Amino acid sequence: MFENRQLFDFEVEPETGKARVLDAPCAPDGELASIGLDCSNLNAALTKLVRTRSISSNRVDLGEILEGFGVRSAVELALMGHGASLTDHFWYRAPGSLARWEDVNFFDNDWDATFCASILASQYDGLAACSPDIPDITTAGHLRKAWERRDAGIFLLKQAQRDDGADLVGSLLASQLCARLFGRDTYQPLSMREVNGKRFSASPLMLARDEELVQSHRLYAMCGMQRRKRTRSRHLPLCKPLPTPSRT
């Protein structure tokens, strides 16, 4: 689904993430390309999208999360909910469901705070009672992280790898520099927070309800471009060397 527009019907193998389109897409190629789908091989493109639209396979606490929810894979977890995120307007709707974008999007609706509390406390037992309709199940990255809604807005909390939080200092300084360059009306810097003796960075969501974060592969698809693998038979010609200037 794109907001309230149905793009196509598909099925997925939860363990492998392999997807297959059931009905021919009703959307034009350009609209599918806006999601990053290559219409020349829609099944393969959809499989890649479904696999990436889940918790990253290299996330350090993925095993604890899957065990807490009682599922076998990150894809299975994403399919338990609507698969919505805080970076775009795409989501999954189960067959026969009457759910609408207004009901499931996280820009307007609250979500279960159990996941964030579990991450902050490094205790995953409570995830068994947590709703899968949370933005965290579609969030990439290898660090422990969780979305949190506060009175001041929506923030992504990311745990430092080092006890002293030194690995987050570079990101903090860079964000403060960007805020000075572009102004705080345009760019909101990160902040540091300590919870249960652990250091976290808090990154504010800077997307409005009608905005999306467009990744590079979607830009390529929208422009009709395909990234080609470099081979020995395909290379850019070298420039001819300039003539050596004469000395007079």
**Which of 34-48, 111-125, 145-159 is predicted with the least confidence, judged by mean pLDDT?**
34-48
Kindly state whether residue 248 falls inside one of the protein's structural domains. no
Residue 149 placed within a domain: yes
Sign of CA dihedral 178, 180, 181, 187: positive
Residue labelled with tokens 């499989």: 47
Looking at the chain, the whole-number percentage of residues with pLDDT higher than 70 is 81
Range of the structural domain that residue 165 is part of: 10-222
The helix/strand/coil state of 132 is: coil
pLDDT above 50 for 241: no
pTM, two decimal places: 0.80
Taking only Cα atoms into account, the Rg of the chain, rounded to an integer number of angstroms, comes to 22
Give which of 57, 61, 58 is closest to 198, Cα–Cα. 61
Give the confidence band of 165 by pLDDT, cuts at 50, 70, 90. Answer: confident
Q: What is the mean pLDDT of the chain?
A: 84
User: 46 in a domain, yes or no?
Assistant: yes
pLDDT band at 246; cut points 50, 70, 90: very low
DSSP state string for 150-178 = ETTEEEEEEE-SSTT-HHHHHHHHHHHHH
Decide: 29 and 39 in contact? Cβ < 8 Å: yes
**Residue 226: per-residue pLDDT:** 52
Q: Report CA 167 to chain centroid distance, whole Å.
A: 22
Q: Please check whether residue 98 lies inside any domain of the structure.
A: yes
SS3 149: strand
If pLDDT is split at 50, 70 and 90, which confidence band does 233 have? very low
| Count of structural domains within the chain | 1
